[in-house]
Amino acid sequence: MFTYAGNIHIHSSYSDGSGSIEEIAKAAAKAGLDYIVITDHETMLGRREEGRYGKVVVLVGVELNRRANHYLALNLDRVVAGDEEDPQQMIDQVARRGGFGFLAHPFERGSPFIGRGAAFPWDRWPVFRFQGIELWNYSSQWRGSCQSLPRALFHYFFNRNAPFRQGPPPDALRLWDCYTRRQRVAAIGGSDAHASIVPLLGPFSLVIFPYPFIFRTINTYVVLEAPLEDDFSRAREQILRALREGSCYISYDRLHPGRGFRFEVRKGSLPYAMGSELPFQEGLSLHLESPAGKRSLLRLIKDGKLVFQGRQQSLHYPVTAPGVYRAEVFYRPGCGRSPRPWIYSNPIYIRGASVGSGLEL
Ligand SMILES: [Zn+2]
Ligand SMILES: [Zn+2]
């Protein structure tokens, strides 16, 4: 298997971001990323600039809707109309055009001190036939942590890790675990990078979370069966397929780079990546490996419940029952400090003979 680091959910100057696609690609190269996904608000003007920028593969999707129910739609050749009131229509329309999408920041809280308190969560449930969820969004979570002015200043200037100590929003994890019992739902992490420029006194201004900074925060690593192709359109296909199928994992790279993480199921010596759906059978085993050695706390989750936890670098776990298995790795920053949420894998779906119907939300 081959792993590539990327950053998803980026705004450029085609909407309310401050950088051109070329500048953003340069920042991504500096941060060591292999791919990025630009998703401007309701425009795909950046599509003509898709391509390889040196080592970095630049893909262009779109973020649909303005008020609520934001949807990150990929693999489209032109923009689809949003639908605030009936987002199911929009989800189905994206699929009809050959695209696929992720519910963006579904539980966003906002901050009374930023953007006049605006928040853009999902408020139409349930929805179906979407392909994924943006489980962890850097800008959104950071903003939600700023419920007082001193806290906002502290979290910006002194401790940018503090808002991420709890991991992704618990509601988002619960919702995801609930959906995956019935259908495959891929989880991605997003930065929601804007690199907004705030004018200060005279000629001075402040760039809020510049692109090179935010590209080292919440990243999504795709896991491919073959190396990423040099040819752009083939590389594009490889990355989009991995995102759509959930052959990927999320890492909060500010704690420690997530490259080298593995989670797979093996049948004999044959490995199946995250996102795979297999019928339950004898002889299956899960293999989990952390790139952070003794600093790792491994957690295995089955059907939304913790079934194993241990301070170790790797785990071999025989599958004795069908279920939706996913892994988390917490990272211990130093001696005596408690482990922090770091890596979230996509599930491996071991299906039993019958899958229940209906969805209890
Ligand atoms: Zn949004
Ligand atoms: Zn956005």
| pLDDT (0 to 100) of residue 137 | 98
Give phi and psi for 243, each to the nearest 5.
Answer: -70, -40
Residues near 298 by beta carbon (within 8 Å), at least 6 away in sequence: 288, 290, 308, 309, 310, 311, 312, 313, 314, 315, 327, 328, 329
Please indicate, yes or no, whether residues 105 and 204 belong to a single structural domain of this protein: yes
Which element (helix H / strand E) includes 156?
helix 149-157
CA distances from 68 to 65, 117, 187, 191, 228 (A): 6, 14, 20, 18, 35
CA distance 232 to 237: 9
Strands 348-351 and 314-318: unpaired
| pLDDT (0 to 100) of residue 254 | 96
* Domain closes at, from 189, 222, 252: 252
- 205 inside domain: yes
Please indicate, yes or no, whether residues 316 and 237 belong to a single structural domain of this protein: no
- 356 inside domain: no
- 359 inside domain: no
- 238 inside domain: yes
CA of 70 to the centre of ligand 1 (A): 5
- 80 inside domain: yes
Please indicate, yes or no, whether residues 300 and 226 belong to a single structural domain of this protein: no
* Domain closes at, from 252, 277, 312: 252
Please indicate, yes or no, whether residues 233 and 342 belong to a single structural domain of this protein: no
Please indicate, yes or no, whether residues 196 and 55 belong to a single structural domain of this protein: yes
CA of 16 to the centre of ligand 2 (A): 9
CA of 162 to the centre of ligand 2 (A): 22
CATH number at residue 338: 2.60.40
| pLDDT (0 to 100) of residue 328 | 98
Which residues share a beta bridge with 205?
199
Please indicate, yes or no, whether residues 69 and 102 belong to a single structural domain of this protein: yes
CA of 34 to the centre of ligand 1 (A): 23
Please indicate, yes or no, whether residues 291 and 327 belong to a single structural domain of this protein: yes
| pLDDT (0 to 100) of residue 361 | 46
| pLDDT (0 to 100) of residue 114 | 83
| pLDDT (0 to 100) of residue 360 | 46
CA of 236 to the centre of ligand 1 (A): 23
User: Which segments of the chain have a pLDDT < 70?
Assistant: 354-361
Q: Give the ligand whose atoms come closest to the C-alpha of residue 82.
A: 1
Q: Which domain holds residue 65?
A: 2-252
CATH number at residue 13: 3.20.20.140
| pLDDT (0 to 100) of residue 97 | 97
Please indicate, yes or no, whether residues 165 and 58 belong to a single structural domain of this protein: yes
| pLDDT (0 to 100) of residue 355 | 52
| pLDDT (0 to 100) of residue 227 | 98
| pLDDT (0 to 100) of residue 139 | 96
- 358 inside domain: no
CA of 142 to the centre of ligand 1 (A): 14
Residues near 11 by beta carbon (within 8 Å), at least 6 away in sequence: 17, 38, 39, 40, 41, 63, 192, 193, 194
Please indicate, yes or no, whether residues 52 and 196 belong to a single structural domain of this protein: yes
- 100 inside domain: yes
Please indicate, yes or no, whether residues 212 and 330 belong to a single structural domain of this protein: no
| pLDDT (0 to 100) of residue 358 | 45
CA of 325 to the centre of ligand 2 (A): 29
* Domain closes at, from 209, 231, 252: 252
| pLDDT (0 to 100) of residue 166 | 92
Q: Give the ligand whose atoms come closest to the C-alpha of residue 11.
A: 2
Picking from 1, 49, 61, the residue whose alpha carbon sits closest to that of residue 25 is 49
Q: How many structural domains is the chain composed of?
A: 2
